Amino acid sequence: MKKSIKFLASALLGLAAVACSSPEKMAEMAERVIVTSDPAVLEVVGGEIDATVTVTYPEDYFHPKAILEVTPVIVYDGGEAKHESFMFQGEKVKNNYQVVPSEGATVTKKVKFAYVPGMEKSHLELRGTVRYKAKSVDLPVKKVADGANTTYMLVCKNGKVDYKADGYQEIIKQTAEGQILYQINSAYVRNNQLSSQSIKDFQAALDEIKANERKNLVSTDVVAYASPDGKEDQNNKLSDNRSKSAEKAFGKVTKKHPADAPVNVQSVGEDWEGFQELVAESDIEDKDLIIRVLSMYSDPAVREKEIKNMSAVYSTLAKEVLPELRRARFIANVEYTNFTNAELLQLIEENIDVLDETALLRAATLVKENDQKVELYKRAADKFNSNTAQYNLAVTYLNMDELGKAKSALNKCEKDGDWNNAMGVVALRENKLDEAAKYFAAAKTTAANANLAVLDILAGDYKAAAAKLGNCKCFNAALAQLLVGNNAPAAALECQSPKAAYLRAVAAARKGDAAGVKKNLADASKCEDLAARAAKDIEFAQYR
């Protein structure tokens, strides 16, 4: 955007003693002084305008006894901002100002102004006053640079904050189970096992599955085991035999209670996993020691030996635990079809009490009005003490831009990464940028990283912002790339909002694409604020 623009200075210096004898003459010959500005078009960065002004004084121009006061001023719609004056003196003046010798010199000065709304249409000028003896003359005012570019202020700074996942499952996997027990070293299925309460419950579950239109029996498993006492190879063979007899028993169990699904038969061998579960659930005095032995040794023979060495304990295990492991399990694998979106919307109107926590959370995502979301999240938070509902309530308030209510809701949430990010968004919207940065840094989430990029843009660190946003296709990522000189992402921005169109217009202007500027500004001007901005924006100065 920088252009090599040079302006003749008004009266940055007086005139040489030989050529001039008065301040008036110095003003008349001021055109011999050349001034440049870097940047030639002023730019607002991090809320400030910085420029470097370079002045070249030709030979025999500055009167040896003259004093020159130069004041940089930004003139903008609605006012002006004056910089501290720079003082220069001829080589025979006995003051402490910067000396400009009669042979000429080049002087460079840095200027800084705080941005004020209105400066997007402005210019930098130098105002000079030369003094010689008793005479004082105001020199002609000359413009140094145009300004000021405020493209970075297009950044979307509401902050990115996401809802927590509702955890709702459209399909819920369920199981129904029954089992038969064997006598020690036997694979024979006793008749009483086919009529046990466990089997009766399993048969009732099969009947319920068949009658329930929301349930689908996917498959069934027959899994046989041996208790982990005795020799491992013998137990593996016993487990294999039990799987065969259990498969036949399964056919009898399901004869009048059909299980119309594939049957998977499996022999596990020694049931160490079941052993550990039963021990952990028991009241056996030394159960912690037994579980520690299991964790220390993986070899089945060593495990059994170490446990048998605990003679008092082993007798209890042989009586209470091992008989429960001589078994075969019958497992029905079921898929339950949960409420559809349409059903959820109907239920929140007609029978909301049947909805569990995740169903309420999902329903809140389906309603369109924020007020409805608020009521559903409040209900889930109160009824189920749901942290997810409480957090999503805060997000909804943020979307409604009700910061006070959002903070109140966040005060009741767990302080995790999402919480830190949301608190950072609150601080960002309150323009507490340092506070926001601390929260975002603590959050360590993808959303928080995107929000840190917003702070980078506001601070003028465009490279850091572009690095954080990476290949994101969002508006802020395209803006960050444009600010580091890569116009392509902004030009290719797919969003059709007026603001996105405005950014595409800026990209087109920087490429010299007049047609692109015209088209995109027409789309952007659907927003009155953007239309007003475009009328003053230095980016489009050559297209007006």
Residues 356 and 304 placed together within one structural domain of the fold: no
Same domain, 14 and 132: yes
**pTM of the entire structure?**
0.79
Give the Cα-Cα-Cα angle 475, 476, 478 (nearest 5 degrees): 65
Report the pLDDT averaged over residues 485-492.
95
Q: What is the DSSP string of 380-420?
A: HHHHH--HHHHHHHHHHHHHTT-HHHHHHHHTTS--SHHHH
Report if residue 536 sits inside a domain: no
Q: How many domains does the chain have?
A: 3
Residue 313: which residues within 8 A CB-CB, separation 6 or more? Answer: 284, 285, 286, 289, 290, 307
- Residue 100 in any domain: the answer is yes
Q: Which of 450, 471, 499 is the last residue of a domain?
A: 450
Decide if pLDDT at 283 tops 90.
no
CATH code at 419? 1.25.40.10
Task: Find tokens 């927590």 and name the residue.
Answer: 164
End-to-end CA distance of the chain: 17
194 and 330 part of one domain = yes
Average pLDDT over residues 44-61: 91
Tokens describing residue 506? 């800026």
Amino acid type, 296: M
509: left (phi over 0), alpha (psi -120 to 50) or beta: alpha
pLDDT at residue 127 is higher than 80: yes
Claim to verify: residue 213 and residue 299 sit in the same structural domain:
yes
pLDDT digits 0-9 by tens, 441-481: 999 999 999 999 999 999 999 999 999 999 999 999 999 99
Residues 145 and 287 in one domain: no
Q: At 100, which CATH number? A: 2.60.40
Q: How confident is the model at residue 165 (pLDDT cuts 50, 70, 90)?
A: very high
pLDDT of residue 17: 36
Determine the average pLDDT of the residues in 178-190. Answer: 96
Asked whether residue 298 is domain-assigned, the answer is: yes
pLDDT tops 70 at residue 22:
no
pLDDT bracket for residue 202 (50, 70, 90): very high
CATH number at residue 305: 3.30.1330.60
Predicted confidence at residue 537, as pLDDT, reads 95
**Is 80 exceeded by the pLDDT of residue 89?**
yes
How much is the pLDDT for 151? 97
pLDDT digits (tens, 9 = 90+) for 387-416: 999 999 999 999 999 999 999 999 999 999
425 lies in some domain:
yes
Residue 430 counted as domain residue: yes
Range scoring the smallest mean pLDDT among 12-21, 117-126, 271-280, 410-419:
12-21
Is 143's pLDDT higher than 50? yes
Q: Is residue 167 over pLDDT 70?
A: yes
The string of pLDDT tens digits covering residues 203-229 is 999 999 999 999 999 999 999 999 998
**pLDDT band at 199, cuts 50/70/90?**
very high
For 317-389, list the strands marked E by DSSP.
Answer: 327-337
DSSP 42: E
Q: Identify whether 509 is part of a domain.
A: no
Which pLDDT score, from 0 to 100, does residue 62 have?
84
Residue 22 within a domain: yes
Res. 314 pLDDT band, cuts 50 70 90: confident
Does residue 5 carry a pLDDT above 50? no
Domain boundary among 337, 371, 387: 337
Candidate from 55-64, 159-168, 320-329 with smallest mean pLDDT: 55-64
SS3 469: helix
Residue 108 shares a structural domain with residue 208: no
Q: Both 199 and 288 in a single domain? A: yes
Final residue before a domain boundary, out of 312, 337, 362: 337
Tell me: do 308 and 227 sit in the same domain: yes
Question: What's the pLDDT at 21?
Answer: 44
pLDDT at 301: 83
Q: Are residues 121 and 192 part of one domain?
A: no
Which among 68, 375, 325 is positioned nearest to 184, based on CA atoms?
325
Q: Would 531 be classed as within a structural domain?
A: no
261 and 211 share a domain? Answer: yes
pLDDT value for 8: 30
The mean per-residue pLDDT over the stretch 72-85 comes to: 95
State the residue range of the domain holding 347. 160-170+340-450
Mean predicted confidence (pLDDT) in 301-329: 84
Query: Could you give the CA distance from residue 141 to residue 198 in angstroms, rounded to a whole number?
Result: 100
Helix (H) or strand (E) run with residue 196 in it: none
pLDDT band for position 169 (50/70/90)?
very high
- Taking Cα atoms as reference points, which of 285, 304, 282, 309 lies closest to residue 294? 304
User: Three-state SS for 270?
Assistant: strand
- Indicate whether 263 and 208 sit together in one domain: yes
Q: Which residue has the higher pLDDT, 306 or 14?
A: 306
Question: Are 177 and 326 within one domain?
Answer: yes
- Burial label for 314, CB within 10 Å (0-12, 13-18, 19+), is middle
